[in-house]
Structure 1
Amino acid sequence: MPDTISINADRLLGTIFETAQFGGLPNGGVARLTLSRHDKEVRDWLRAQCEALGLDVAVDAVGNMFATRPGREAGTLPIAMGSHLDTQPTGGRYDGILGVLGALEVLRTLDEAGITTHAPLTLVNWTNEEGSRFSPAMLGSGVYAGVYSPDYACSRTDVNGETFGAALDGIGYRGDVPAGSVPLGALFELHIEQGPILEAENAVIGVVQGVQGLNWYEVELTGRAAHTGSTPMSMRRNALLAAARIIESVDAVARDHAPHAVGSVGFIEAHPNSNNVIPGFVRLMVDLRHPDDAVLSQMASAVERAIADAAHSADVTAEFRKVAETAAVSFDDECIEAVRDAAATSGYASRDIISGAGHDSVHLSRLVPTTMIFVPSEGGLSHNAAEFTAPHECAAGVQVLLDAVLAYDRRTAANRAGNAG
């Protein structure tokens, strides 16, 4: 095997532009919702590209796709690369799909170089990572990892009442392979950062250490709707006032646990939502995140106290429940080291980073050695038609993916040989 081989950056860029047409929007963004017609189109395209390389493409019962290139060592578990093809309704052309196209480019490059790895290599497309059509997010990888059952996944509904299972059948991607039965030995996921850190520090590669933990709360505040002009201030039970104090408290709690904590309220409903009526009911969602579960627990306790205090001060009642809780994830040391070494070998500026967003790698890390590779997002934008990662940054990420996978393959092959000896 040669010391270095290079991916084809122009070919990679071509695939990025080509696949952006599946669900492409006039403003340059992409709306490719899970199991939609556009999702089928890009899946069909991916299957054709993989089959052109002579790869077998397996599809499991929830639509996860696996294209495997054989290795030299029979019976060795594959090293997987990939991410997801679905987007947000106002998505861009890099989120998720860059990891799939990067894996495809790695396989094409190895074919051209005539290189066969020790372990098989598997390109993966996980179904419904975004969760924008069917909730929860990361559904396909969650079924693979045993977090959710296939029946649970297939029962999820979209806003029009269509089930995940019906949509899966509708595009012909309910596979005959049992969910979770395709064996994998490790996973490397290339992804855009979706944040501003790499760009701000002029780093091209993010060596992802893990994913921060998450707590979501649904909060309902009940006061009393009344006329704004005739109700004295001292007699008001303003649910929106309590909500405002909670929003400020969530921000303060996150700042009190700097620099890694984040917290926000991104969803709020006020009723009756009339200009001259004091809001009698408010529902909001609190999002708290931190890479240390113990700190996240402290933040959650502080926010729960703040909710109670805000309700008391505004003379309203508060009910809240935790609707999502994800523990912080630490990725595999050997996989991380392979990425760090690959970036250094290629001369790319890199920095260690924690993922602020959830990814399919969260679920896979429960089962196999896993890590992620980040490349910059211009302006920190993602889930936005304007999201952009420069061509040379995309190419750098795929080059590091190739080099890291090859290094990991050599290292694990040497470990197997040593153990056998």
Structure 2
Amino acid sequence: MKRQLIAAVGVAAMVVGLAACGSDAKKDENTNASGNSSAAAGKYNGKTLKVWLMSGSAPKGWDEAVKTEFETTYPGSKVEYQIQEWTGIGPKVTAALSEGSVDVLEVGNTQTAGYAATGGLLDITKDKAAIGGADWAANQSESAILDGKQYAAPWFVTNRVVSYNKDLWAKAGLTATPKTLEEFYTSLEKLKATEGVVDPLYMPGQEWYVYFGLLTSEGGKLAKKEGDKWVGGLSSPEAQKAFETYKKIQSFSTTGLKDKDEAKPQQKDVFGAGNVGAIIGLGWELPDEKAMAKDKIGFFPLPGKTADKPSGVFLGGSNLAIAQASKNTDMAKDFLKIALNDKNEGAVAAAGLIPNKASLNDKVVGDFASAAKLASGVGGITPTTPNWAAVENDPNPIKEFLTGALTGDYNAAAKKADEEIAKRLNAKQ
């Protein structure tokens, strides 16, 4: 299975306490020794909530902190985590949802629509505000909405940034990071002319996530719905404008083959050789410290056409959902409330991920994440449809479009890709 763009996370929540009573005497009557309302104290006594998290998702200590907060808020309750592996997770989730053997689960944001369409996820539209969703980032929440209904809560995202070799940039006389695309091109030209630089930028031709971000900047879509049918969007004027920018950026990658993606070879290996000026990628695509010390790598978001806004990005991340077949849906909603409160979302930000609220972005920690958050507000997701995974299956028509457009006729490549995208999105499940 392809490496996921992001890890995912578990969930948690806390129910809103009873409204304050008119007198201190009445308040004391409804509060136990632990400070919990008597109603909350016995609400889930003797019940166990089963929560699935994906391997590597939750920041260190996050799951236990959420568990403790929930079990303290609701004495007698129990939260039971199961850690799942990404490989082969699809069939396992499908089975668990149909059997009702899981209450809360993490799902990738591009997978959510598929599970929702089959009836596996609980519609939480009416519960969104109570769970804390009034100020969720709209471009993150979008991935959890299907046919106007909310089927999950956004948990976190991450996105690609420019990671650059500080030593090579200094050698090229570059003392500041670029703020516009034109400045970025100028920086790459200087790197290209610098002795010892094999490639100013390594970016193979099929890096469709970078193209997706540029398309988002132009206001375009990979596909859109017209009536009850999906149509591809690569033949649009917006898609062509985005491609011109993509083509310009890719032209600086002399070793990045036009018919390859970022996985073969992996960018961390290419960048780790020390003779490449920059890559555009995710945090896990960086070389380990044996290959390149952390303090030798700098970060900035891919600039936009003007200095006031970076280029768009693909937001890869995880959502937290409740199983439709769960027998503990109220308990699960309260768990989500705790898992997504500002304290626990702040822990997500402190681990270097982008939280689901812009108001918490000031808590984001880490050089890579600090650069990523600058573009997260102008990021987007792939079309929300249960058939989207079919588009990404090999042979991926977007990758083939990029190779075709880079090496031949844009219009012909776009037309072919649009037809294939529409065919896959409109196929009956």
**Which has the bigger relative contact order, CA under 8 A and spacing at least 6?**
2
Task: Name the TM-score, length of structure 2 as normaliser.
Answer: 0.24
Task: Name the TM-score, length of structure 1 as normaliser.
Answer: 0.24
